[in-house]
Amino acid sequence: MDPEVRAAHEWFEGNSGWAPPDEDTLDEWAADGVSKAPDDCVTTVEGTCSHGLASWHRVLAALES
Ligand SMILES: [Zn+2]
């Protein structure tokens, strides 16, 4: 697991937990070339927010792999 994805999971444990955006929202973000991190920071689809958390796209892709 990428360190940033791991950091996101650690964030879930310390915060309100697991609340991924729905698929339509993720697709809209991706169409604009953006994503959000679990702490609501705007980042890129393949990016990491300024706090070191992976984007939702990365977190969810890691679950599927
Ligand atoms: Zn952040």
pLDDT band at residue 19 using 50, 70 and 90 as cut-offs: confident
Ligand 1 mean position to 65 CA, how many Å? 24
Q: Own/partner pairs for 29-37, CB < 8 Å, 24+ apart? A: 29/56, 29/57, 30/57, 37/8
Neighbours of 14 (CB within 10 A): 7
d(Cα 38, Cα 40) in Å, to the nearest integer?
A: 5
Ligand 1 mean position to 50 CA, how many Å? 5
pLDDT band at residue 59 using 50, 70 and 90 as cut-offs: very high
Q: What is the largest CA-CA distance in the chain?
A: 30
Ligand 1 mean position to 47 CA, how many Å? 11
Residue 64 confidence (pLDDT) above 90: no
